[in-house]
Structure 1
Amino acid sequence: MTRTPWTTRALAVTFSALLVACSDDGTQTTDAVVTATVGDNTGTSEPATSAPTSAATTSAPTTTAAPTSEPGTTEPVTATASDSSTGPGTTTGTTGEPACADGTIVCDGNVAKICDGMGGFHSEETCPNACAPDLGCVECVPGEGVCDGNVATHCNDEGSGYVDTVCDEVQGVECQDGQCVGACAPASLGDSYIGCDYYSVVTANAVGPTFTFAVVVSNVSAEDADVTITRGDAPVMDILVPANSVEIVPLPWVDELMIASGSKVVVDGAYRVRSSRPVTLYQYSPLEYEKDGLPTMSNDASLLMPTNVWGSDTMVIGRNSHFGNPGLYTVVAREDGTTIVVTPSATGGLVRAGGGIAADGTGMVMLDEGDVLQVLSADGAPPPNQPDPSDVTGTRVVSDKPVMVLGGHYCTFIPVSVCCCDHLEELNLPVENLAREYFVTTPLVKPPGENPFTKARMVRVIATTDGTTLTYDPPQNGAPVALAKAGDYAEIETDVDFKISANFKIAVSEYMLGQNAGGDTGDPAMTISVPLEQYRSSYSFHAPTNYESNFANITAPNGATVTLDGAPVAGFEPIGATGYAVARVQLPNGADGDHTISGDVAFGVQVYGYGQYTSYWYPGGLDLTLIPQ
C-alpha cells in the first residue's frame, strides 16, 4: 500500500539498553492511606545550489560558507582585526578588537582555523566540502538547504549530512529555503500537547457498538482550522473547526482493536488527524454517558499527543487483569519501518500472545505508519479478592523511531473487590518527559451545596531506575518509600492531597474508585499525573456536557492568580508545606464544553466527570519538554 512519508532517509536511532526484572509484593497501611501495595516490576541563509534534492547522505556536494574575514585579509575578523597580527603573543589587532578565545574554531572561506587566544592560531585545515563556525570542517553548513516541491532538503545541526522532510500541505506547511515553514511547522509549534498532526486509536472496551467512539478537536488558534482525518490511504472526513471553538467528531469503532481477543497488530488501525492550524485532541471511548436511556457503564477518555513530541522509550502504565478482563497497552507508529522492542516487567510476563509478542511479554515487532500493536495481559489466577499478578505496568517499550503509547484496561473494578467494572485508557508519557516531582490531588464527587463528598482514589508510582526512593509532603505514614528496580511500582489508596518526590524519574498515575466505594456516582477511570516541570500558564481543554457533573482540579503556587473562562478561581487550599495549593472547580454543563484557563505563573490542571457507574479523567494539558534524569 502507498504510505505518506513523514521523513525520508531518517537517521538511525540507537536502541536504549533494556532492563531485566524480578518481583516481590507486600501490603502496608497509613493514616490517610487505606492500602499500599508494592509490585516489584523490573524492566531491565541561502541554500547551497549544489545541495541534493533527495537522498540524505554522509557526504554532500561541496558548499562554501560565507567568509568571516574582511575583504583583502587572510584572517577572520572574529580572530584578529589585522592582516599582520597572526603570530603568537598578539592579543589584539590594529583596530583594538580582542582575539578569539583559545580553542574557538573560525572559518576563512573553506579554511577552518583553531584560535590560540593570543591573536594567532594553533592550526588550520582546508576543508574538502565546507567550513562552519564552531564546528570546523563539515559535510555541509547547518541550516543550508533547498526545496524540491514540498520536500525540504536541509543540512542537519551537526553538519554531517542532509535530511529530507516532507512539508505537509494538509497542515498548511510549505517549503522555503530548505525548511518547512508555517503555523504547523515543528519549529513553530514547540513542545506541548498543542499540535497539528495526531493519531487516535481505539482500545479494547466492553462497551456496546451502539455507543460512539469520538475525537474532540479544540481549535486553540484565532483562525479557522481545516481538519483532515484518514485511516491508511482511505479518506474518512474533512471538517472545518472555526477559530476558538470545539468540534466533536464521531468515528467508526475499529472492531479488531475493540474486541479483547488477544494481542495483535492491526494494519492501518489508527486514525490520523491533521489540522491546518494548531489544535488539541482528545478521544472518548465512548463519548456518551448514556444513550436511548441506557448508561454506557464503560467510559474513559484520553488526551492525545501530537506526533512532533512522540518518544522512543516509554514505561507502560496499565492495570491488573481482572476476572478474565485484560489490562492493555497500545503502540502507534508514525513512520514506516518502525521497530518496537518490548521488555516486560515482572508482572508483565503474562500476556495473551500474538502480534509478535510472546506469552512471556517479550517481543520485537515491525510497524508501518498508522499501524497499531495492542498487547493484552493474561489471567494470573489470583486468590479471592486479591489483585491479579498479571499486570503490564512497568513494561518497557523501546523503538527506533518515535511512537505513541496508551495504557489502560478492558474493564476493571477498583479496588479489586468493589463494584463496578469500567474501561480505562490514558496516554503514557515517554521517559524523557517524566520527572522527579508530582502533585497528586483528589477529585470531588458532588459539588458544594449538594452533599459534597471527597472520594478516595488509587495512586500508582512506577520507578524508571533501580534504587528509587520516595518522599511525601505532607508525610504519608506507612506509604512505600523505596522501589528497588526499574519497573517496580507502589500503589496507595488515599483521600489526601500530597506531593511525591523521588531521587530518580518516576511515572505517576491515578485511578478513580468504583461507585460502590462511596459518593453514589462515578466508576473507575484513569489519568496520568503531570510533572511540575511540564506545567503551563495557559490551557484550552474540553469537558463533555452530558455527564452528571464535570470538574477541574487546579494546582498552583500559593498566591497565584488563575482565571477560568475569564473568571477568577477562588477556594485554593494549601497542600502541606509545599508552597502549592489546589482548587476544585465545577464546570458548567452548558455551552459547548470548551474551556480556557490561564494564570500569572505555571500551574497544572486535571479534568474529570461523573455519571452513574461511569466516569472519565485526563490531564487538561502539559508541556512535553525533555527533562534530564
Structure 2
Amino acid sequence: MRRARLTFGAFGAVTSIGGFVVALIAACGDDRGGFIQNERAFETEHEGGAPDAETCFLQCSLDGRSIIDSCTGGVVETCADDLACGAAKCQEPCAAAEADRSSNGCDFYFAMPRHYAPSIVSCFATFVVNASNKPATVSLELQGGELDVSRALFRAVPNSTDLEPLEGPIPPGESAILFVADWDPAKPRSVGERVDHTSCPTEAKPALEADFGNFRSGIGDAFRLKSNVPVGVTWMYPYGGAGTHYPTATLVLPVSAWAKEHVVVNGWEATLQGIPVTQIFAAEDDTEVTIIGTKTVSNGDGFTGAAAGIPAKMMLSKGQFAQIAQTEELTGSSVLSNKPTATVGGHECANVPTSAGACDTLAQQIPAFEQWGSEYVGVGYRPRTKNSDEIVWYRMVGGRDGTELEYDPVKPPAAPITLSAGELVLFSARSNDAFVVRSRDAEHPFYLGMHMSGGAGRPPKVPAYGGTGDPEFVNVVPTGQYMSSYSFYADSTFSEHSLVIVRKKTHGDFKDVWLECAGNLPDWKPIDNAGQYEYGRVDLSRQFGPGDSFGDKRCTTGLQRMRSEGAFSATLWGWGAYASYAYPGGMAFRKLVETPLTPVN
C-alpha cells in the first residue's frame, strides 16, 4: 500500500471493558466500491470525506484506549485510564463521545408520545447501555427538578429476560432499565382504563407517578437523562407493551448529536385512527425555532402557525419541546433554529398502508439534515409468516433538488430515480430483496425509513399476517453512519424478534461480526453486484421461546451485544399479536453534508 501524508480522522471508539468493546464505535472509511448496473452511471465521492485506501490518518483504536496509525495499526498514543479516545484525541470520556458524534452521549432529552388514544399514561421506560470503562451514574430531571430513581433502575441480565434491582451505578459494559413514569397509582380508575393500561413491573417504582395531560399541538416539558460517562439510550412506550397493541420505541440522540437544520419526517399520512405528529426539542433557553411548512402549520398552545411556505416561529426554553399534531402531513418541511435542536416524527395511530388494519403508534427520532446519507442499504426483517415473501414499505425524502438515484442490483417497483428537496416517495419491496440505493454525492442527501405493515392487512391487495405484528416505522441507517459495536435490548413480552445485520466490506474484506449469544455469525447473503455489502438475520425469539441456535449457544430476548473489526449496522424488530417495535442498535452522527439546507417554499 502506498503511504500518504498522515492526516487526522474522527472515526473513534469510546472505550472497552476487558477486551470487549461496548462503545458504539464509528468505523473508519474505506473504499466505497462501485455499484454496478451494467455500467456505472456516475462516480460517487467518499461519504463524509472518508479517506481512500491509500490515505493514512490517525484514528481511535477499536477498544478506544489509544490513537493509532490507520495504515499500520501502530499505537501513536495510549490514553490515560481516566480518558478515552475521541476524534483521534485522548480526552475526558463525555468530551470524547461528543467529538465522535455517535448515539452514545452524556445528556439526553425525550418525551413519551402523549398524542394518542387511549389518553391514560402507561409504563414509560428507557434502556440505558453503559458505553464506558467506568461506572455510569445516571440522573433524571423534569422541569429542572431531579426525580428519585433509587427504585426505578434495574439491571438487564445479558442473554436473559431477568431484571435485578440495581443499587449504585451501572457497571462498565452493563445495561439497565430505567422506569421513567407511570400513572398515579392512588387515583381511582374505571374498568376500561385498567384494561388499556400497561403497568411497570410490580417491583419497580417509576421515577414519576402522575397523570400527564395529553395534548395535540402545544409546548410541553421533556425528561432529561444525564450520565457522568457515555451511555446509549432507547425509550420504549409502553414498556412490555405487546399486550397493549400500540407500542413503539426509538433510539434517543444525545444533545451532542443535535444540529440547527432539520427536515421533518412524519410517520405516515392521516388516517381515520390518527394524524401525523412532529416534536421539536430544545436543550438551551431562548431557542428560536422556525418552521417553513410544505403544508399549513397549525396553531398550538404556545405558538402560532403559518401558511405553507411562510415561516412559523416559536420560542422554546431549556427542556421544552413543541408538538405539532395535524391532519396535513408536514414531511419535507424545514426546521431551522438558532441553537441545536432535535426532531421526532411520528403518528397517533397509523394504518400502514392506509387501507390495512390495524393501527399503531409510530415515533422515530430523525437525524439532523447534515447527518443524512447519500447511500443506504434496504433489507427487511424476517417474514412474519412461513414460506412468505413479505412486502415491506419504504419512506424516502429528498434533501436537495436534482437528486439522481441509482440502485444495485435492481430498483424496487415504484422507487424513484430522482428526488426534489422535501419530496416524499413511498414504495414497497419484498423483504428478502435487499438493495443498495445511492445518490451522486454527499451533497445530495436523502432520508430512508422502513415500515412494517398492519397485521390484519386488507386482502387481496394488502396481505394479512393473521394479526401478527402491526405498523412500525424505523430509520434506515446511512452506510456512512455505520459503526463497529452495538448493544441492544429485546423486550421479552413480544413473541418474535428478528435482528437484521448489514456488513460493509472494510479495507477490502468482510470482517467477522460477533453476537454474544451466537459467536461469529456464519451465514451471510450478498446484496449488491459490486460485492460491497452482505446481510444476515438472527432470530432472538420464536413464539416466546428461544431463537436461533449456534452450536451450544442459543439466542433469547434481553440484553445482547455485538462487535466487529469492520463497519456494520444492526436493526432490531420485535412483534406480537397486533403489536410491534423497532429501532437501530445505534449509529454514528457524523456531519456528512456540508452545504446548508435550502428551505422548501
Shorter-chain TM range is 0.5 to 0.7
2:373 corresponds to 1:422: no
Question: Could you say which residue in structure 2 is the equivalent of 1:604?
Answer: 569
Percent of aligned pairs sharing the same letter:
26
Letter in 2 for 1:527: V
Which residue identity lines up with residue 219 of structure 2 in the other structure?
V
* Native 8 Å contact 2:277 2:347 kept in 1: yes
1:553–1:605 Cα contact (<8 Å) kept: yes
- 2:400: which partner in 1? 465
Q: Does structure 2 conserve the Cα–Cα contact (< 8 Å) formed by 1:535 and 1:602?
A: yes
Residue 535 of structure 1 corresponds to 482
Cα distance change on mapping 1:414 and 1:530 into 2, 3 Å: same
Structure 1 residues 258 and 305, CA gap change in structure 2 (3 angstroms): farther
One-letter amino acid of the counterpart of residue 233, structure 1: G
| Partner secondary structure for residue 184 of structure 1 | helix
- Name the structure 1 match of 2:534: 581
| Partner residue, 1:570 | 522
1:265 aligns with 2:219: yes
- CA positional deviation for 1:237: 2.5
Partner of 2:247: 299
> Which structure 1 residue ranges, 4+ long, deviate > 4 Å from structure 2?
186-189, 253-258, 588-592
Q: Deviations over 1:468-506 (max 9, x none)?
A: 222221222643434453101111022122111123100
CA displacement at 1:238 relative to structure 2: 3.9
> 1:220: how far off?
2.4
Q: Specify the SS of the correspondent of 2:256.
A: helix
Amino acid of the structure 2 residue aligned with 1:439 = V
| 1:195 is the counterpart of 2:105 | yes
Aligned residues: 430
Contact 1:326 1:410 in 2 (8 A): yes
Higher mean displacement: 318-327 or 521-530: 318-327
Query: Could you say which residue in structure 2 is the equivalent of 1:225?
Result: 136
| Structure-2 change in CA distance of 1:278 and 1:477 (3 Å) | closer
Residue ranges of structure 1 left out of the alignment (5+ in a row): 1-171, 174-179, 379-389
Matched, 1:516 2:456: yes
Q: Distance in 1 between matches of 2:538 and 2:105?
A: 27
Cα separation, 1, equivalents of 2:374 and 2:426: 17
Residue of structure 2 in register with 1:279 after alignment: 231
Corresponding position: 1:317 with 2:228: no
CA shift at 1:253, angstroms? 5.8
The partner residue of 1:497 within 425, 434, 446 is 434
> How far apart, in 1, do the equivalents of 2:389 and 2:227 lie?
39
Residue 477 and residue 243 in structure 1: after superposition, are their counterparts in 2 closer, same or farther (change >3 A)?
Answer: closer
Q: Partner letter of residue 487 of structure 2?
A: S
CA distance in 2: counterparts of 1:424 and 1:578, whole angstroms: 35
C-alpha displacement of 1:244: 2.1
Alpha carbons of structure 1 residues 257 and 529: separation in structure 2 relative to 1, 3 Å: farther
SS at match of 1:251: strand
Question: Which of these residues, 468, 475, 482, is aligned with residue 410 of structure 2?
Answer: 475
Residue 436 of structure 1, CA deviation: 0.7
1:216 aligns with 2:127: yes
Q: Does structure 1 retain, via aligned residues, the 8 Å contact 2:273–2:350?
A: no
Q: Secondary structure at the match of 1:185?
A: helix
For the pair 1:367 / 2:316, whether they are aligned, the reply is yes
Give the stretch that moved more between structures: 535-544 or 604-613. 535-544
| Conserved? CA contact 2:413–2:429, under 8 Å | no
SS of the residue corresponding to residue 480 of structure 2 reads: helix
Contact 1:499 1:578 in 2 (8 A): no
- Is it true that 1:506 corresponds to 2:442 in the alignment? no
Q: 1:485 to 1:277 in 2, by over 3 A?
A: same
Specify the structure having the higher radius of gyration (Cα). 1
- 2:272 is the counterpart of 1:326: no
C-alpha distance in structure 2 between counterparts of 1:257 and 1:312, whole Å: 29
2: CA distance between counterparts of 1:210 and 1:429?
Answer: 27
Give, as a single letter, the amino acid of the residue that structure 1 aligns with 2:236.
Answer: Y
Within 5 A, what are the aligned runs for 1:134-173? none
Deviations 1:82-108 (A, max 9, x none): xxxxxxxxxxxxxxxxxxxxxxxxxxx
> Could you tell me which of 550, 571, 580 is aligned with 2:497?
550
The alignment's C-alpha RMSD in Å is 2.6
CA deviations on 1:364-409 (whole Å, 9 max, x unpaired) are: 011111011001122xxxxxxxxxxx21211111111001111010
AA at the equivalent of 1:245? E
- Give structure 2 stretches of 5+ with no counterpart: 1-81, 84-89, 151-168, 184-209, 458-463, 547-554, 595-601
Deviations 1:121-155 (A, max 9, x none): xxxxxxxxxxxxxxxxxxxxxxxxxxxxxxxxxxx
Q: Which amino acid aligns with 2:179?
A: P
Given that 1:426 and 1:527 are in contact with CA atoms closer than 8 Å, whether structure 2 keeps it comes out as yes
Partner residue of 2:511? 560
Cα displacement (A) at 1:461: 0.9
Pair 501,181 (structure 1): closer, same or farther in 2 beyond 3 Å: closer
Partner SS state of residue 94, structure 2: coil
1:247 to 150, 155, 176: 176
Amino acid at match of 1:221: S
1: CA distance, partners of 2:477 / 2:405: 17
Matched, 1:434 2:434: no
8 Å CA contact retained: 1:200, 1:215 = no
How far apart in 2 are the matches of 1:614 and 1:371? 30
Q: Give, in whole Å, the separation in 1 of the partners of 2:235 and 2:522.
A: 30
The answer (yes or no) to whether the contact 2:369–2:593 under 8 Å persists in 1 is no
1:219–1:243 contact (8 Å) kept in structure 2: yes
The equivalent residue for 1:176 is none
**Is the alpha carbon distance of 1:591 and 1:607 closer, same or farther for their aligned partners in structure 2, counting shifts above 3 Å?**
closer
